[in-house]
Structure 1
Amino acid sequence: MAVVKEFALPDLGEGLTEAQVVRWLVEVGDVVAVDQPVVEVETAKAMVEVPCPYGGVVTARFGEEGAELPVGAPLLTVAVGDAAGEAGPGPGAGASSGAASGAAAAGPSAEEGSGNVLVGYGTGAPVPRRARIRRPWAPPGPPQAVPRPDDGAVWSDAPVTGGAGGGRQAVGGAVTGGAVAGKVAVISPLVRRIARERGVDLTRVRGSGPEGLILRADVERAAAAAGFAPASAPAPASPAPAPGPASPVPASAAEGERIPLRGLRGAVAEKLGRSRREIPDASCWVDADATELLAARRAMNELPGAAKVSLLALLARICTAALAEFPELNSRVDTEAQEIVLLPAVHLGFAAQTPRGLVVPVVRDAHTMGAAGLSAEIGRLTEAAREGRITPAELTGGTFTLNNYGVFGVDGSTPIINHPEAAMLGVGRIVPKPWVHQGELAVRHVVQLSLAFDHRVCDGGTAGGFLRYVADRVERPAVLLRTL
């Protein structure tokens, strides 16, 4: 007899606690091999194809496309074993005996899982986000649930308000209004807190999420139906005289489009908000003559057979040299210990625009690289980020960030520090401008450099010294030869 095994969303690393289902790669009734990717999910760091550690027949899927699932929530169930073909995938799954027998013929690997989960990142052609989150998935035929231990349900252990009677409510079924005490189809602690604050009995709420999961919107609708208004809501104004006839405006059009702050966009919002809340930042900026830097780059790239060096790589090399002179800016603040931690290595982050949004890949040990090495690594990480192949590990652990917003055609900015770092250098576009050069007015290529720094780690003298060091090397790159 086949054994039905559940595969849950694995720990994807880097402190990630949830992921959004982007695209299912298998259907109920499909035969899967060990470590075959079964679903594509989007985390706050990258696109991830999740492989299944079991081989057999898919008997159920949990979570429709666009749903947010926490780590540990069930993804699918697989019937494994020699008799998988006889047992079938369960009522309504639609698996043929031929497909099931294919699982049995897959050999020993189809009987037992590998025991580990190998995560591969990215896809060849990422689907646009808005199209992905709106694609519904409807199970073919009758419900595809397969009996498994504890009825195959995800249970919430939170107490509920009101209600009577015994039993438990599974995520797999919608709550229809009957009172069920003790367990309800809700996972999010936030949803439970909102229900408690607004006096909503979760046992009487019908969940609109995947498999009947109660979402925040469900609780808010139930609270509105019960006439609950937040304490901060203004009192309704006195009715005004009715104006003349007017065309009714649909509620959705008046409210505007809502875009969920999830995945990458949500991670960016959380990190930038935290930076503004926690870091007392200050900014300083200076204009620099980059004419000689451009000439030096041209000379490097004209060497026969030499790899091309990007302008961003030259600026990165200048930054690593400056951080060696001003290590306070390559640090972070330990708020619990009330200490400034000076970091021994420079892991240089740089902003890169991708179809998924702005990401910050990190060049590890940038202080050990020359301009050519930095250029090669920056190019590799940029390509991986734009193709959706970059890993979470390559997007974390930075100690200082370089932001070249000049590629967008702007001169200056006041960058927000990439928490928990201590500083960020912004680089504007390089444009011809009138400039006094060697006592005479001339047209030179000028760039604006701006530095945002954590005022807890240093004062203006240190920040100004760092920025002046960078500007001097931009204007006279040959001076860097003294430190090479």
Structure 2
Amino acid sequence: MAQVLEFKLPDLGEGLTEAEIVRWLVEVGDVVSVDQPVVEVETAKAMVEVPCPYGGVVTARFGEEGTELPVGSPLLTVAVGGDTQTSDGADEGSGNVLVGYGTGAPPARRRRVRTSPVAPARPAGNSPSNGGSPAAGPQAVGASGPLGASGAPGTFGAPGTERGPGTRTAASGRAAVPGTAPETVSGRMDARALTDARATGPVAVISPLVRRIARENGLDLRELTGSGHDGLILRADVELALRSAGAAPGQPETLTGLRAPEAPAAATPATPAAAGTRVPLRGIRGAVADKLSRSRHEIPDATCWVDADATELLAARAAMNAAGGPKISLLALLARICTAALARHPELNSTVDMEAREIVRLGHVHLGFAAQTERGLVVPVVRDAHTRDAQSLSAEFARLTEAARTGTLTPGDLTGGTFTLNNYGVFGVDGSTPIINHPEAAMLGVGRIVPKPWVHQGELAVRQVVQLSLTFDHRVCDGGTAGGFLRYVADCVEQPAVLLRSL
């Protein structure tokens, strides 16, 4: 007898409670292997591929691309049995749903099996005769002969961290997420001709934001020719297509040139306040809003700043890079200065436990750095930054920056920071009073480095000057400690040889 198992959206950890379906990697009727990625989802922290812990035939999918699902909602159902085993013979779940990791087993090549649809088994409460919606749940589909997920899958974390599989549930009669009708094998059979007629493979876009803009404006991405590398569709391509189509009469255009949603026919005349465009606070933007609001509400912060002559630091970096080997970034040198300053002032590498009324001083420095992306502001974290030299820091900054740009940062890359370095000088500004990245205790801000008049060795000269600012939690230390930290950082910027004392 066939066994149909249901795979739910895994617990994503770190307080994440929902995810948006960006792209399905399998279709109904496909044969999947254990730990094969089946869907790409975007959370408030990253975009990841979700592996399925079962091998078999996909019998139903829940939710279209662009649908937002809460954790624990069904993603798909898999029919497991001897006649539908994958090429490696795996017909049982791995029990290890670590999103973005899996068990490391190579995914089997996708192939299709043709099944014979049978009458769907529905609970009486969901039958059309009893008022149930036909799309309220997936249809159970069998095959001649005997045909994986976990109710409590593992969370994000270090590879090897597992949680045991939960209760396996048959898909028959399972209610779908409101507003999403599952695609079943029988429905797939009826629509096979339509699917074969469509172009194969996903549309390559630079970010989920581009896909969302096209979807909200009714634009078919398959009709566009991307201007990016290998035909990658950029945001500019979508906006150009929408401008070429023109806004509908009576619809104001937003700042990006996109049409605003139509007002209901029975709506009252729009007032200036009602005429604006509403942007949902969700995804990364929503997560940033929640964290910054909590920081401002809970942390009594204060800011101090100082101007520093960075001429010698720039000269030291130029000398390092002229000596050959991998290039050293300025951000890496500033990070190395930060870790040395935190060793002298450990109060700023801490967090506050208000329930226990304790300050927790941390023995390691996981250094976060702010990075602006198309999806919003993210803060990747360099693990154990205090143990790295400038070359290692440069390499890790480069890796994380590229991952942020491409949207491939994992939740592990974005969590666990103990101190943040914010280089807002890249935006061409001199200073800022940043909000602390909760639950950390401090953040160092670095402005742009520009030539300014400066008194150097008793004479007026043009020097490369930078403004440094430190925002700190006044609960963990007083102004003397914060000022000492910032002064040490400025001394190292002005005279990099000061760092030799801590090497």
TM-score between the two structures when normalised by the length of structure 2: 0.67
Deviation per CA, 1:351-410: give whole Å up to 9, x if none: 122232221111111112222221122122222222222211121111110000111111
SS at match of 2:347: helix
Q: For residues 369 and 71 of structure 1, do their structure 2 counterparts lie closer, same or farther at Cα, with a shift above 3 Å needed? A: same
2:412 maps to: 393
Q: Which residue of 2 aligns with 1:113?
A: 93
Question: Which residue matches 1:159?
Answer: none
Maintained 8 Å contact 2:352/2:359? yes
Following superposition of structure 1 onto structure 2, how do residues 21-420 of structure 1 map, counting pairs within 5 Å? 21-83=21-83, 103-104=84-85, 106=87, 108-109=89-90, 111-120=91-100, 147=121, 172-173=135-136, 209-211=179-181, 251=263, 254-304=274-324, 306-420=325-439
Offset of residue 258 of structure 1: 2.5
Name the CA distance, whole Å, in 1 between partners of 2:343 and 2:366: 13
CA separation of 1:352/1:258 partners in 2, compared to 1, >3 Å: closer, same or farther?
A: same
Does the aligned pair in 1 maintain the 2:56–2:86 contact within 8 Å? no
Q: Counterpart of 2:37 in structure 1: which amino acid? A: P
- Determine if contact 2:126/2:132 at 8 Å carries over to the other structure: no
Contact kept? 2:368, 2:420, Cα under 8 Å: yes
Return closer, same or farther for 1:209/1:120 CA change in 2, 3 Å cut-off: same
| Residues 125 and 132 in structure 2, CA contact (< 8 A), matched pair in contact too | no
Unaligned runs of 5+ in 2: 102-117, 138-176, 183-249, 253-261, 265-269
Residue by residue, what CA displacement relative to the aligned partner does 1:245-267 show, whole Å, maximum 9, x if unpaired? xx999637853332222221111
- Whether the aligned pair in 2 keeps the contact of 1:19 and 1:41 (CA below 8 Å) is yes
1:169 Cα offset (Å):
7.2
1:333 counterpart SS class? strand
Greater CA drift, 11-20 or 51-60: 11-20
Question: Quick one: distance in 2 between partners of 1:449 and 1:171?
Answer: 62
Cα deviation for residue 281 of structure 1 reads 0.7
2:473 corresponding residue in structure 1: 454
Partner SS for 1:108: coil
Equivalents in 2 of 1:75, 1:360: separation in Å? 29
Does the CA-based 8 Å contact 1:415-1:452 persist in structure 2?
A: yes
- Counterparts of 2:326 and 2:88, CA distance in 1: 49
CA contact (8 A) 2:449 2:464 kept: yes
Q: Distance in 1 between matches of 2:82 and 2:251?
A: 64
The answer as to whether partners of 1:322 and 1:469 remain within 8 angstroms in 2 is yes
Q: Deviations over 1:318-372 (max 9, x none)?
A: 1111111111111111010111111111111111222322211111111122222
State the alpha-carbon separation in 2 of the partners of residues 447 and 115 from structure 1. Answer: 53
Contact 1:25–1:40 (8 Å) recurs in 2: yes
Distance 1:300 1:11, change over 3 A: same
Return the alpha-carbon distance in structure 1 between the equivalents of residues 484 and 80 of structure 2.
Answer: 65
CA contact (8 A) 2:55 2:85 kept: no
Secondary structure of 2:363 counterpart:
coil
Q: Deviations over 1:192-225 (max 9, x none)?
A: xxxxxxxxxxxxxxx973249xxxxxxxxxxxxx
Q: Decide which structure has the larger Cα Rg and report it.
A: 1
CA contact (8 A) 2:42 2:48 kept: yes
Q: Does the CA-based 8 Å contact 2:373-2:405 persist in structure 1?
A: yes
AA aligned to 1:447 is V
Task: After TM superposition, give the deviation of residue 454 of structure 1 in Å.
Answer: 0.6
Q: How far apart in 2 are the matches of 1:210 and 1:145?
A: 22
Taking structure 1 as reference, are residues 170 and 340 closer, same or farther at Cα in structure 2, changes over 3 Å only? farther
Residues 345, 485 of structure 2: 8 Å contact kept: yes
In structure 2, C-alpha distance between the alignment counterparts of 1:388 and 1:74, rounded to whole Å: 25
Is the CA contact 1:4–1:148 (under 8 Å) kept in the aligned structure 2?
no
Which residue pairs with 2:141 in the alignment?
A: none
Q: 2:321 and 2:295 mapped to 1: Cα distance? A: 39
| Residue type of the alignment partner of 1:13 | G
Cα-to-partner distance string for 1:43-93 (whole Å, 9 max, x where unaligned): 12211111212222222111222222222211111222135xxxxxxxxxx
Residues 477 and 248 (structure 1), Cα distance of their counterparts in 2 relative to 1, 3 Å cut:
closer
The alpha-carbon distance between structure 1 residues 2 and 428, as it changes in their structure 2 partners (threshold 3 A), is: same
Asked if residue 480 in structure 1 is aligned to residue 492 in structure 2, the reply is: no
What is the CA-CA distance between 1:116 and the residue it aligns to?
2.5
User: Which residue identity is paired with 1:296?
Assistant: A
SS in 1 for 2:82: coil
Residue identity matched to 1:116: N
Aligned length, in residue pairs: 363
Describe the shift of the 1:67–1:105 C-alpha distance in structure 2 as closer, same or farther (beyond 3 A): closer
